[in-house]
Amino acid sequence: DRTVAVYDLGGGTFDISIIEIAEVDGEHQFEVLATNGDTFLGGEDFDLRLIEFLADEFKKENSIDLHNDPLALQRLKEAAEKAKIELSSATQSEINLPFITATPEGPKHLDLTLTRAKFEELASKLIDRCRVPVEQSLKDAKLSSGELDEIVMVGGSTRIPAVLELV
């Protein structure tokens, strides 16, 4: 018998299932011992935190709110997704968005370095929200984390170092 936790932090939802796998008469049987999650927590939420941070930093420096500019917001979204992925393996990410917007004085650019530490600070409440479903599913399965034989990580956001550390 093996006890496996499937930790799925996808784009839009977070789910954890604890499954027991037993071999009976040469066949594998699966029993779900517990499942829990947060349907309002996913990778997009991490992206949104970064988008807000980038827009706020730009506004501090240029006194321009990018929230009313759909094209600028799309570029911020793409930059946030890229930075999130980069920060899973690097300690910093360069965000360089030339011509993000323009004023009568000319074009404006967004150029900053985002550290993994800053990203983890921005995402800390989201990461904390992962903790309760994990603890509840272990409680429902009447197990401790030490009794799990394996943890299967599913979804891009499971590569975030702070998420890995939590798990």
- How far apart, in whole angstroms, are the C-alpha atoms of residue 98 and residue 27? 58
The amino acid present at 138, given as its one-letter code, is L
Residues 159 and 143 occupy one common structural domain? yes
Mean pLDDT of the chain: 95
Tell me the pLDDT band of 167, cut-offs 50, 70 and 90: confident
Residues 116 and 47 occupy one common structural domain? yes
Domain range enclosing 85 = 43-120
Residues 159 and 99 occupy one common structural domain? no
Whether the predicted pLDDT of 18 surpasses 90: yes
Residues 52 and 110 occupy one common structural domain? yes
Q: Mind listing the pLDDT tens digit for each residue in 110-146? A: 999 999 999 999 999 999 999 999 999 999 999 999 9
Whether the predicted pLDDT of 39 surpasses 90: yes
Portion of the chain with pLDDT greater than 70, in percent = 100
* CB crowding 102-132: b at 16 or more within 10 Å, else e: eeeeeebebebebebebbbebbeebbeebee
Tell me the pLDDT band of 49, cut-offs 50, 70 and 90: very high
Q: How many domains does the chain have?
A: 2
- How far apart, in whole angstroms, are the C-alpha atoms of residue 162 and residue 128? 10
Residues 136 and 76 occupy one common structural domain? no
Residues 57 and 114 occupy one common structural domain? yes
Residues 55 and 78 occupy one common structural domain? yes
Residues 96 and 111 occupy one common structural domain? yes
The CATH number of residue 14's host domain is 3.30.420.40
Residues 96 and 51 occupy one common structural domain? yes
pLDDT at 112: 97
pLDDT at 120: 96
Residues 35 and 50 occupy one common structural domain? no
Residues 67 and 92 occupy one common structural domain? yes
Whether the predicted pLDDT of 11 surpasses 90: no
User: And the tokens for 19?
Assistant: 């499954």
